[in-house]
Amino acid sequence: MTSISASQCAAARALVGWSQDDLAMAAQVSRATIANFEGNTRIEPARKNLFSIIASLEQKGVMFIPEDIERGLGAGVRLRKLELEYSSTLRTSLHSAGWDLIFPVRYKGRPCQVTIRREIIDDIARGNFRTTDEQVKVVQNYLPQFLKAVEARLSTMDNVPASIALTMEDFPAGTF
Protein backbone atom coordinates (compact mmCIF):
# COMPACT_ATOMS: atom_id res chain seq x y z
CA MET A 1 0.00 0.00 0.00
CA THR A 2 1.50 3.33 -1.00
CA SER A 3 -1.26 5.65 0.16
CA ILE A 4 -3.87 5.74 2.90
CA SER A 5 -6.56 8.19 3.92
CA ALA A 6 -6.60 10.25 7.09
CA SER A 7 -9.48 8.16 8.44
CA GLN A 8 -7.58 4.92 7.73
CA CYS A 9 -4.61 6.29 9.65
CA ALA A 10 -6.75 7.21 12.67
CA ALA A 11 -8.62 3.89 12.54
CA ALA A 12 -5.37 1.92 12.28
CA ARG A 13 -3.94 3.75 15.28
CA ALA A 14 -7.07 2.99 17.29
CA LEU A 15 -6.95 -0.66 16.24
CA VAL A 16 -3.45 -1.13 17.70
CA GLY A 17 -4.08 1.15 20.67
CA TRP A 18 -1.57 3.82 19.69
CA SER A 19 -1.78 7.52 20.41
CA GLN A 20 -0.61 10.07 17.86
CA ASP A 21 2.60 10.32 19.90
CA ASP A 22 3.11 6.53 19.73
CA LEU A 23 2.73 6.49 15.95
CA ALA A 24 4.94 9.54 15.53
CA MET A 25 7.69 7.87 17.57
CA ALA A 26 7.42 4.56 15.70
CA ALA A 27 7.38 6.29 12.30
CA GLN A 28 10.11 8.79 13.21
CA VAL A 29 7.92 11.77 12.27
CA SER A 30 6.58 14.66 14.34
CA ARG A 31 3.29 14.36 16.18
CA ALA A 32 2.18 17.43 14.23
CA THR A 33 2.61 15.43 11.00
CA ILE A 34 0.19 12.80 12.30
CA ALA A 35 -2.26 15.37 13.73
CA ASN A 36 -2.27 17.47 10.55
CA PHE A 37 -2.84 14.40 8.38
CA GLU A 38 -5.63 12.94 10.51
CA GLY A 39 -7.23 16.35 10.99
CA ASN A 40 -7.27 16.91 7.22
CA THR A 41 -5.10 20.01 7.61
CA ARG A 42 -2.91 18.40 4.97
CA ILE A 43 -4.17 16.04 2.31
CA GLU A 44 -1.14 13.80 2.69
CA PRO A 45 2.21 13.99 4.50
CA ALA A 46 5.46 14.06 2.54
CA ARG A 47 5.93 10.77 0.69
CA LYS A 48 8.81 9.59 2.91
CA ASN A 49 6.77 10.34 6.04
CA LEU A 50 3.69 8.61 4.63
CA PHE A 51 5.71 5.47 3.79
CA SER A 52 7.12 5.47 7.31
CA ILE A 53 3.65 5.85 8.85
CA ILE A 54 2.26 3.02 6.72
CA ALA A 55 5.25 0.73 7.42
CA SER A 56 5.01 1.33 11.19
CA LEU A 57 1.31 0.47 11.27
CA GLU A 58 1.75 -2.56 9.00
CA GLN A 59 4.56 -3.83 11.20
CA LYS A 60 2.16 -3.63 14.13
CA GLY A 61 -0.21 -5.94 12.23
CA VAL A 62 -2.50 -3.47 10.45
CA MET A 63 -3.72 -4.37 6.99
CA PHE A 64 -5.02 -1.52 4.85
CA ILE A 65 -8.00 -2.40 2.69
CA PRO A 66 -8.35 -0.35 -0.50
CA GLU A 67 -11.62 1.14 -1.63
CA ASP A 68 -13.72 -1.08 -3.92
CA ILE A 69 -15.65 1.37 -6.08
CA GLU A 70 -17.39 -1.33 -8.17
CA ARG A 71 -18.96 -2.88 -5.09
CA GLY A 72 -19.53 0.42 -3.31
CA LEU A 73 -17.19 -0.43 -0.42
CA GLY A 74 -15.03 2.18 1.25
CA ALA A 75 -11.42 1.83 2.30
CA GLY A 76 -10.74 0.34 5.72
CA VAL A 77 -8.32 -1.38 8.08
CA ARG A 78 -8.12 -4.67 9.92
CA LEU A 79 -5.58 -6.71 11.85
CA ARG A 80 -3.76 -9.50 10.12
CA LYS A 81 -1.94 -12.47 11.58
CA LEU A 82 1.64 -11.46 12.31
CA GLU A 83 4.04 -13.90 10.67
CA LEU A 84 7.30 -12.08 11.46
CA GLU A 85 8.85 -11.97 14.91
CA TYR A 86 12.08 -10.09 15.39
CA SER A 87 14.72 -9.07 17.85
CA SER A 88 15.88 -5.48 17.81
CA THR A 89 19.31 -6.68 18.90
CA LEU A 90 21.72 -6.06 16.06
CA ARG A 91 25.19 -7.56 15.82
CA THR A 92 28.02 -6.88 13.45
CA SER A 93 29.63 -9.20 10.96
CA LEU A 94 33.17 -8.21 10.02
CA HIS A 95 34.57 -8.97 6.58
CA SER A 96 37.33 -7.67 4.31
CA ALA A 97 35.24 -4.74 3.00
CA GLY A 98 34.12 -3.57 6.45
CA TRP A 99 31.09 -4.72 8.40
CA ASP A 100 27.44 -5.54 7.97
CA LEU A 101 24.64 -5.68 10.51
CA ILE A 102 22.76 -8.87 11.29
CA PHE A 103 19.55 -9.36 13.23
CA PRO A 104 17.58 -12.54 13.94
CA VAL A 105 13.95 -13.02 12.90
CA ARG A 106 11.43 -15.84 12.96
CA TYR A 107 9.07 -16.14 10.03
CA LYS A 108 6.17 -18.54 10.49
CA GLY A 109 8.06 -19.96 13.45
CA ARG A 110 11.30 -20.60 11.53
CA PRO A 111 14.53 -18.77 12.38
CA CYS A 112 16.40 -16.68 9.83
CA GLN A 113 19.39 -14.34 10.13
CA VAL A 114 18.94 -11.10 8.16
CA THR A 115 22.02 -9.31 6.90
CA ILE A 116 21.88 -5.63 6.13
CA ARG A 117 24.93 -4.75 4.10
CA ARG A 118 26.85 -1.62 5.01
CA GLU A 119 26.35 -0.21 1.50
CA ILE A 120 22.57 -0.25 1.96
CA ILE A 121 22.79 1.59 5.26
CA ASP A 122 25.17 4.17 3.77
CA ASP A 123 22.86 4.64 0.75
CA ILE A 124 19.73 5.02 2.86
CA ALA A 125 21.21 7.58 5.22
CA ARG A 126 23.33 9.14 2.48
CA GLY A 127 26.49 8.87 4.51
CA ASN A 128 29.57 6.79 5.15
CA PHE A 129 29.47 5.74 8.76
CA ARG A 130 32.68 5.01 10.57
CA THR A 131 31.23 3.14 13.54
CA THR A 132 28.75 0.36 13.95
CA ASP A 133 26.89 2.47 16.53
CA GLU A 134 26.09 4.97 13.77
CA GLN A 135 24.88 2.16 11.50
CA VAL A 136 22.74 0.65 14.25
CA LYS A 137 21.05 4.03 14.79
CA VAL A 138 20.17 4.25 11.07
CA VAL A 139 18.63 0.76 11.12
CA GLN A 140 16.70 1.49 14.32
CA ASN A 141 15.34 4.70 12.78
CA TYR A 142 14.14 2.77 9.72
CA LEU A 143 13.24 -0.50 11.47
CA PRO A 144 9.62 -0.68 10.20
CA GLN A 145 10.81 -0.32 6.60
CA PHE A 146 13.50 -3.00 7.08
CA LEU A 147 11.01 -5.39 8.69
CA LYS A 148 8.48 -4.81 5.92
CA ALA A 149 11.16 -5.64 3.34
CA VAL A 150 12.17 -8.79 5.24
CA GLU A 151 8.57 -9.99 5.53
CA ALA A 152 7.86 -9.26 1.86
CA ARG A 153 10.98 -11.17 0.79
CA LEU A 154 10.36 -14.18 3.03
CA SER A 155 6.69 -14.38 2.01
CA THR A 156 7.76 -15.17 -1.58
CA MET A 157 9.82 -18.18 -0.55
CA ASP A 158 8.55 -21.74 -0.20
CA ASN A 159 10.98 -22.46 2.63
CA VAL A 160 12.47 -20.04 5.13
CA PRO A 161 16.24 -20.00 4.58
CA ALA A 162 18.73 -19.90 7.44
CA SER A 163 19.82 -16.45 6.29
CA ILE A 164 19.09 -13.73 3.77
CA ALA A 165 20.84 -10.51 2.78
CA LEU A 166 18.65 -7.54 1.98
CA THR A 167 19.26 -5.61 -1.23
CA MET A 168 17.90 -2.23 -2.33
CA GLU A 169 15.53 -4.16 -4.64
CA ASP A 170 13.77 -5.46 -1.51
CA PHE A 171 12.45 -1.96 -0.79
CA PRO A 172 9.61 -0.37 -2.79
CA ALA A 173 10.62 2.65 -4.85
CA GLY A 174 10.47 5.83 -2.82
CA THR A 175 10.88 4.09 0.56
CA PHE A 176 13.94 6.17 1.46
By the 8 A CB rule, do 151 and 107 touch? yes
Q: Which residues contact 58 (CB under 8 A, 6 or more apart)?
A: 1, 64, 144, 148
Whether this model's pTM surpasses 0.85: no
Q: Place domain 6-79 in its CATH homologous superfamily.
A: lambda repressor-like DNA-binding domains (1.10.260.40)
Tens digits of per-residue pLDDT, 71-121? 999 999 999 888 888 887 888 887 766 688 898 999 999 999 999 988 888
Domain 84-170: state its class: alpha beta
H helix intervals, the chain: 6-16, 20-27, 31-38, 47-59, 118-125, 132-141, 143-155
Tens digits of per-residue pLDDT, 30-81? 999 999 999 988 778 998 899 899 989 998 889 999 998 999 999 999 998 8
Query: Could you tell me the residue ranges of all domains in the chain?
Result: 6-79, 84-170
